[in-house]
């Protein structure tokens, strides 16, 4: 009376599903490991160790900020580069008040690490300076003299930053560039 039906067959349902074999997964993991082994040292060099490039980016950002401040406030600014102490800072020319002068002194500016130095600075109006303090004047429209900053590190790698008088773009070269 009762008829029993055969159990359902699942072969057709699972037969077309595909997956990865263990060998394929091992090969993919091995390829990822090999590519990481080659790329991590270069990435580390670019992001962590390359203080020269990092400091040049900081200097570029500071100069752009000061030029924008001068144009926005319609007030001239001075950027000071102390080549011996490896320090860069800025202030208004002349400071508006005693409070502004104290605020600038409290602002740390950029202190470069021991492995990076300002090798020299060339401006359109003066000779190349290799020591002491160099001051760049930025007028109230954000214009300044054409200037080239040369940064170097302990391995004698050089980055030249070319500041254009009327354009806000600052070009960076990894060779020594001269005004001549």
Query: Domain map of the chain by residue range?
Result: 51-173
Q: Per the structure block, which two tokens stand in for 58?
A: 């900081």
pLDDT of amino acid 110: 87
35: helix, strand or coil: helix
- Among 141, 120, 119, which residue's Cα sits nearest to residue 66? 141
In percent, how much of the chain has pLDDT > 70? Answer: 79
Q: What are the tens digits of pLDDT across the range 75-84?
A: 999 999 999 9
φ, ψ of residue 103 in degrees (nearest 5): -65, -40
Q: What are the tens digits of pLDDT across the range 125-165?
A: 667 888 889 888 898 888 888 899 999 988 888 999 999 88
Helix then strand then coil, in percent of the chain rounded to 5, is 35, 25, 40
Please tell me the distance from the alpha carbon of residue 90 to that of residue 110, in angstroms, as a whole number: 10
H and E: helices and strands count for the chain: 4, 8
DSSP label of 48: I
Instruction: Name the CATH architecture for the domain at 51-173.
Output: 3-Layer(bab) Sandwich (3.55)
Please tell me the distance from the alpha carbon of residue 46 to that of residue 29, in angstroms, as a whole number: 25
- The answer to whether the CB of 35 falls within 8 A of the CB of 93 is no
Cβ contacts of residue 91 below 8 Å, gap of 6+?
77, 78, 80, 100, 101, 104
Record the pTM. Answer: 0.67
User: Other C-beta atoms within 10 Å of 108: how many?
Assistant: 8
């Amino acid at each position: 009376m009762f008829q029993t039906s055969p159990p359902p067959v699942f072969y057709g349902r699972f037969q077309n599903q595909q997956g990865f074999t263990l060998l394929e997964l091992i090969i993919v993991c091995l390829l990822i490991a090999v590519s990481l082994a080659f790329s991590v040292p270069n990435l580390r060099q670019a992001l962590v160790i390359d203080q020269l490039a990092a400091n040049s980016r900081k200097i570029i950002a500071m100069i752009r900020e000061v030029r924008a401040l001068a144009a926005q406030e319609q007030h001239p600014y001075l950027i000071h580069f102390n080549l011996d102490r490896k320090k860069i800072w800025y202030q208004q020319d002349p400071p508006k008040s005693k409070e502004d002068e104290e605020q600038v002194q409290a602002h740390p500016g950029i202190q470069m690490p021991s492995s990076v130095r300002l090798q020299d600075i060339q401006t359109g109006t003066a000779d190349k300076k290799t020591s002491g303090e160099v001051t760049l004047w930025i007028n109230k429209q954000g214009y300044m003299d054409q200037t080239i900053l040369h940064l170097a590190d302990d391995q004698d790698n050089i980055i030249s930053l070319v500041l254009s008088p009327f354009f806000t773009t600052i070009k960076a070269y990894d060779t020594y560039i001269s005004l001549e």
